[in-house]
Amino acid sequence: MEKKYGVYICKGCGIGEGINVEKLANNVKGMVCKTHDILCSPEGINLIKEDMKNEGVNAITIAACSPRVKTEEFDFPGALIERVNLREFVVWSHEPNNEETQSLAEDYLLMGIEKIKKGDLPEPNILQDLSSTILVIGGGVSGMNAAIEAANAGYKVVLVEKEAQLGGFANRLYKKIPTGEYFNKPLIVDTDIDKLIKEVESHPDIKVYKSSKIEKTEGQPGLYDVTVSTNGGSETIKIGAIVLATGWKPYDATKLDYLGYGKSQNVVTNIEFEEIAKKGNGKILRPSDGKEAKKVAFIQCAGQRDSNHLPYCSSMCCATSLKQARYVRQNNKDAVAMVLYKDIRTPGRLELYYKEAQNDPGVMLTKAEVKGVSDAGNGNLFVEAENTLLGEKIKLEADMVVLATGMIPTTREPQEYLDGLALAGTKGDEAKAKYIEETPKPEFILNLSYRQGPEIPSLEGAYGFADSNFICFPYETRRTGIYAAGGVRRPMDMSEAQDDAAGAAFKAIQCIDHVSRGVAVHPRAWDITFPDPLLIRCTSCKRCTEECPFGAIDEDEKGTPFYKINRCRRCGTCMGACPERIVSFKDYSVDIIGSMIKTIESPDEETIRIIALVCENDAYPALDTAALQRKKIDSSVRFIPLRCLGGMNLVWIADALSRGLDGVLLLGCKFGENYQCHFVKGSELANYRFGKVGETLNKLQLEAERVQLMQVAIAEYDKLPDMINEYVERVKEIGPNPFKGF
């Protein structure tokens, strides 16, 4: 691309008052450079557009506000754009009209211009033979709804169910909780699951595989090859994106013998109670003697919110027990349902359901810590409880006891197995072999061909659920192109699962759409750049393949890496990992950042200059927010954003220090896979590499304290300026870099 440069400096929002804009503009030589009072105004935008039209300007440096704002205004398709953050990083966070502030603005502008000189307009990398078929795994309420949503949006859907029929748990229910208004409406309604099954099975764009399993999932978004084993044979299908809706299993009630399960036939789980109601067509005939149950005790949180069993709340059991209380009451006006709860948790709309269900005179509720269930003779049971609202200790007699047991995601067993395998692997091959031999292998779900393992990875605090920890992107998993919906993602009820299914289906569609245009799937959902290694210089060291958090890089037989680019999230971790520095993006490379650093020079031997490499997702917005609150930062620091600190290459530190800069600060996000970063562990990898910076410093005979890595969360904007200023003070104490001026 033949570049024609244009530099546009805004004077608005205090920039004109804080620095000498004319002096700044005069520094720009050999290119169009204009200033404007309010660059984001229609007149300002027009100024740039006119230059594009008349002068052919196509490489635009906009020195105004943070690149995180005014993105719609400063969008000029077909042109390369670089935003220089004069507002937040200069005038809002520094003393106005001061030599150092002016110097800061000059340096930022120089860096911006350098970046645009080095960068290039990207072309998207669109792979061939992409599939737009969506695979839905699991044919329960979530899976079927996801299939219908995707198919109705115009996509072909393949639905794989391991049972012989669709429906999942809903098949086992007698009635369900209605949706919508509860006031003066029936509190139990038919599940209508047959209608949903029929809709799925008769949909022309949904192909259903029953009694089938996923044998293998290979490839990448848009190009998955999924092998389905079905009817004794197997079939490989081209798939674009995957919705994981494999649901949950009830908690193993045999572990709840203190609640009488297994000791009395009349102690049943909530699922078994549904089956009893279904079998009796609403009549509750207790298992031991077939007598109609007229006094039923419901024990909530049975093995839930309990560190010995499930530590979490399954969210659906309270409403389910209130529904089942209605089963008890509907045929018998003298029957009572006694509900013993830790807390009634009926989130959202279900609060109204609770209110309505509670109004029945025969539904009695109390908070209680259930201590045990014992035999009361004749098949009846005593439930003993403490800390109740009725008094300290109570004992009640019931015909039947229902345990509200919780949900375990289907992903949990494979995760536990694989985590155990990984742990055994760290103890050596023998331990690993022993583990494989002795541990029963659970049923796998995805069987991914993926270097980080065949299933959705476990996360601390997710308790086996296929959750990503990405608070803003609930359906994403840690595997690009695979979206979780329903009970496998987090505990939820049927109506929530229905909404969840739509969400996950739309994420799958977004994924298919983005790969068809060569755009990153997420989180950089606008980005058409991609890592493009100069492979002739590759030494096959495998660092990139090992460090890529998304398994986007594999090696061929010769050990040369190759990208499954549709898995890539464009974080640049491979760029930071590569010792040969051969991985580059069109607008982001070791050379581009290195060149930006090289533009910074100390004006004299006494003045401190520090470079800060800043995570774009946490630290950068935190700095913007601090600036918005006019918090002051030492003017010796120049911030350079990185897509992820995982892209940090050690050569930048070596370059900066050997050229006389006084310090390098690295601002990354919190370590650990459980942090909600989309790039999973870039910051931690940067820290790992950073461990080796000592060698560089030793070679240069410089103090280790000059380089520091800090973990900053986006919410820590209030502390960040002080953290930075304290660091600067320490560098100042050490004194100027002796390499200055060399």
- Per CB under 8 A, residues contacting another protein are 334, 336, 338, 344, 355, 358-367, 384, 389-397
Q: What letter would DSSP give residue 169?
A: G
Residues β-bridged to residue 32: 6
Cβ proximity to another protein, 334 vs 733, nearer residue: 334
Cβ proximity to another protein, 280 vs 362, nearer residue: 362
Cβ proximity to another protein, 195 vs 395, nearer residue: 395
Smallest gap from Cβ 362 to another protein, in A, equals: 6
Smallest gap from Cβ 361 to another protein, in A, equals: 4
Is the distance from CB of 19 to CB of 97 less than 8 angstroms? Answer: yes
Is the distance from CB of 287 to CB of 265 less than 8 angstroms? Answer: yes
Smallest gap from Cβ 398 to another protein, in A, equals: 10
The alpha-carbon radius of gyration of the chain (Å, integer) is 31
**Token digits of residue 420:** 């155990």
Smallest gap from Cβ 380 to another protein, in A, equals: 12
* Dist. CA 468–CA 456, nearest whole Å: 9
Smallest gap from Cβ 394 to another protein, in A, equals: 5
Smallest gap from Cβ 374 to another protein, in A, equals: 12
Cβ proximity to another protein, 334 vs 557, nearer residue: 334
Smallest gap from Cβ 326 to another protein, in A, equals: 14
Three-state secondary structure of 390-424: CEEEEEEEECEEEECCCEEECCHHHHHHHHHHHHH
Cβ proximity to another protein, 136 vs 370, nearer residue: 370
Three-state secondary structure of 450-464: CCCCCCCCCCCCCCC
Smallest gap from Cβ 367 to another protein, in A, equals: 7
In whole angstroms, how far apart are CA 133 and each of 130, 228, 238, 245, 486?
9, 14, 7, 16, 20
Smallest gap from Cβ 371 to another protein, in A, equals: 10
Tell me the three state secondary structure of residue 711: strand
Three-state secondary structure of 574-603: HHHHCCCCCCCECCECHHHHHHHHHCCCCC
Cβ proximity to another protein, 375 vs 397, nearer residue: 397
Cβ proximity to another protein, 294 vs 689, nearer residue: 294
Cβ proximity to another protein, 366 vs 595, nearer residue: 366
Smallest gap from Cβ 183 to another protein, in A, equals: 12
Residue 181 CB-half CA count within 13 A: 3
Smallest gap from Cβ 376 to another protein, in A, equals: 10
Contacts of 272 by beta carbon, 8 Å cutoff, 6+ apart: none
Number of H helices, E strands in the chain: 21, 28
Smallest gap from Cβ 283 to another protein, in A, equals: 19
Cβ proximity to another protein, 241 vs 338, nearer residue: 338
* DSSP characters over 546-561: HH-TT--EEE-TTS-E
Q: Give the CA angle between residues 518, 524, 526 to the nearest 5°.
A: 55
Largest Cα–Cα distance of the chain, in whole Å?
A: 99
**Token digits of residue 417:** 């197995």
**Token digits of residue 331:** 């045929």
Cβ proximity to another protein, 391 vs 559, nearer residue: 391
Cβ proximity to another protein, 394 vs 422, nearer residue: 394
Cβ proximity to another protein, 87 vs 329, nearer residue: 329
Q: What letter would DSSP give residue 63?
A: E
- With the CA atoms of 331, 334, 335 and 337 taken in that order, what torsion angle do they form, in degrees rounded to the nearest 10? 120
Alpha helices (H) along 484-586: 494-517, 543-547, 573-577
Is the distance from CB of 582 to CB of 533 less than 8 angstroms? Answer: yes
